């Protein structure tokens, strides 16, 4: 893989960019404090904007690592305000695999925004970084997350029973993936 760190990505409707400390208020307001958004995630809803700020400070420090890929999702024409998050949460160098996680504020659900962001990140990882396999997973009680994966042509590979943990407790994990050769 040819790591180059988090790069700005633009699509028709979106800007995917690095976080800045000024994003804390929008992150807290738009998704991090929402129990519905975080229902199937592995981190609890933020109790304050200060928690969001602390998390962003940690992420900003990691941008110096060229194998760190983490974007905030911004809708063009929306005053550069973050509405969601997408990141490579795990990389396996030996097999050129990237595992992606994402979330978006409830206001922007069911608009194709998350699929557009995921597709753009997948293209970047395949074309620029040289990843061979991109995977993602979701709790089967959250089928809309799986719809995002399907919309990006990821193939369902199976459900691992009692394999994961999220804010609902122990959960099954539905895995989807796409290989570079399948594009």
Low-confidence ranges of the chain (pLDDT < 70): none
Cα separation, 66 vs 63, whole angstroms:
7
In sequence order, what are the residues at sequence separation of 6 or more whose Cβ sits closer than 8 angstroms to the Cβ of residue 82?
19, 23, 26, 27, 30, 72, 73, 74
Domain ranges in the chain? 9-182
Per-residue confidence (pLDDT) for residue 82, from 0 to 100 = 98
Instruction: Say which CATH class 9-182 falls into.
Output: alpha beta
Per-residue confidence (pLDDT) for residue 94, from 0 to 100 = 97
Q: Of 84, 50, 63, which is closest to residue 18 (Cα–Cα)?
A: 63
pTM of the predicted structure, to 2 decimals:
0.97
Per-residue confidence (pLDDT) for residue 18, from 0 to 100 = 98
Per-residue confidence (pLDDT) for residue 35, from 0 to 100 = 97
């Amino acid at each position: 893989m040819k790591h180059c760190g988090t790069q700005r990505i633009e699509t028709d409707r979106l800007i995917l960019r690095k976080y800045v400390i000024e994003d804390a208020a929008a992150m807290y307001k738009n998704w991090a404090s929402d129990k519905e958004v975080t229902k199937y995630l592995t981190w609890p809803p933020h109790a304050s904007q200060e928690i969001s700020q602390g998390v962003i400070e940690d992420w900003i420090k990691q941008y110096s690592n060229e194998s760190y890929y983490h974007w905030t999702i911004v809708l063009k024409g929306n005053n550069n305000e973050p509405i969601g998050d997408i990141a490579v949460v795990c990389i396996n160098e030996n097999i050129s695999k990237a595992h992606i996680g994402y979330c978006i504020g409830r206001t922007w659900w069911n608009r194709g925004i998350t699929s557009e962001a995921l597709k753009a990140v997948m293209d970047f990882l395949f074309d620029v970084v040289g990843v061979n396999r991109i995977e993602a997973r979701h709790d089967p009680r959250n089928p809309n997350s799986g719809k995002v994966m399907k919309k990006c042509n990821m193939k369902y590979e199976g459900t691992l029973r009692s394999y994961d943990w999220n804010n609902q407790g122990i959960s099954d994990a539905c895995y989807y993936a796409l290989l570079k050769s399948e594009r």
